[in-house]
Structure 1
Amino acid sequence: MTGTTSPRRTLVVSDLDRTLIYSPSALQLAGPDEDAPTLVCVEVVDGRPHSFLTLAAAESLGRIHRAAVFVPTTTRTVAQYRRVHFPGIRPRWAVTSNGGHLLEDGRVDPAWNRHVRQAIAGDGTDLAEVIAELKLRADGDWVLKRRVGDELFCYLVVDVEALPPGFVPEWRQWCTERNWSVSMQGRKIYAIPRSLSKESAVREVARRAGTDRTVAAGDGALDAGVLVAADRSIRPPHGELDATGWAHPGVEVSGRAGVLAADDITAWFEDQLRPSSP
């Protein structure tokens, strides 16, 4: 590509939980309370504040949204994604359900979901079999909740301290042999079919939006494909990727962990959007 980079031709892709937005337990604000940043609540669950980002990050996202194509890209279900409201921002596009649903102007695209389900059907092991096996393996007080995400994948919410040490590696091996992936993010342990990926949905958004450059952020193993496929990427110094020591050329690491990582990530996005000559 020659000439300058046009920011309006850039797709800005970001995971949500523990990348841009944070639950109270994930804030990691270790300094004095008087030095804490101003927090903005972006999600309410059962009438209570549930997820936050800093005011600085919220303002930065507003500028990013105006300058480029901002696409939230999450493993959250459609319903869970719709609970998130960024101040003054309504992204035209969103990827939910780990790529299983593509939203345009808030509406689910049924054709994309059919395409994804056809791809998953070729993986060989269906969701019902995985759920049944998980029920047999995950039996104990350490299992707090069992969930199915938009009839595409399943996950557990667990007591991390009581989690049997052999469960995740053994469950991962069983799933890998059947073309499924396992990802542990905080208290949640996901089982995802291999054909269900955020990166495939991001490619489709880029095609529809007419962008020619992608920058991305994410913290979990389910974000790795997007981070690798993007032109430039960043991850926070926490989360699943950091815990496993994951690194890749072209993927930077933000300077701060917790909710302040969102400040670093959004500032990094803005730097990527400044026109520059090659």
Structure 2
Amino acid sequence: MGSVITETISIISGLGSLISAVALVITIHYYRKQTSGLEKQLEEMRKQNSILEQQLEEMRKKAELKAEFDYTFLDNAVPITDADKAIISGIMIKSGTDTRAKIVRINVFNESSVTARQCVAKVRIFRKDHWEGFGGIMLHWIRYRVGIHGNRMEDLYRPIDIAAKDSEIADLVFIIKDHKEKYAAIRTDLGLDILFANPRTRLHEDDILKVSVYCDNATLDLPCIHVKKVPDYDTINSSNEKDFLEILECHKVLPS
């Protein structure tokens, strides 16, 4: 009887050892599986971190801009209203005549290898020894061409990306002749459109225009424009613009 009990105990002990061994194998397998999954997660996180670091590094890079004033359209006036459809935001402004404009623009070049992101061009007017109170005027990038008839103003003046080694052009001054008068004004988002421009954006003799370009990763200040005399539609062209608009270093004509 004693030998049977001893044998039974031995068998049970052996089974216990076997069960322990099996449990250990299962535990090791599960641990390895968990470790493998964790390693995959860590590797994926490393990849994501690497991509994020590259994106952050790209964002830290500064774009290099340069700009010049473009007088091409002083010789090529463009119609800014249609004689038969002279309507802005549903308002009939005139009929039977076109309104035409000669335009001074700025051409902004991105000379770097990174995109200049979310760029806006702005101009401030220094007049009679003080800055005009409305602050900087947002300029219109000509890439957003459509919009004289009924488009939302904010769509016309939204920021723009300037691709590497590329350029974009913004309107600056419209020199206008219509059936009633001639005048020069900055195209602005302060009114429905150029024909309804805020009167303070019309140029006056001795105004100083300070133009700047602001991007998320770049800033550029252009030379200032001194309005020697208000540009006249019938006489100004690309050969005599200096008689009307004089380019000067800003620090020489603006208060410090």
TM-score under structure 2 normalisation?
0.22
| Structure with greater strand percent | 2
Q: Tell which structure's C-alpha radius of gyration is larger.
A: 2
TM-score under structure 1 normalisation?
0.21
| Structure with greater helix percent | 1
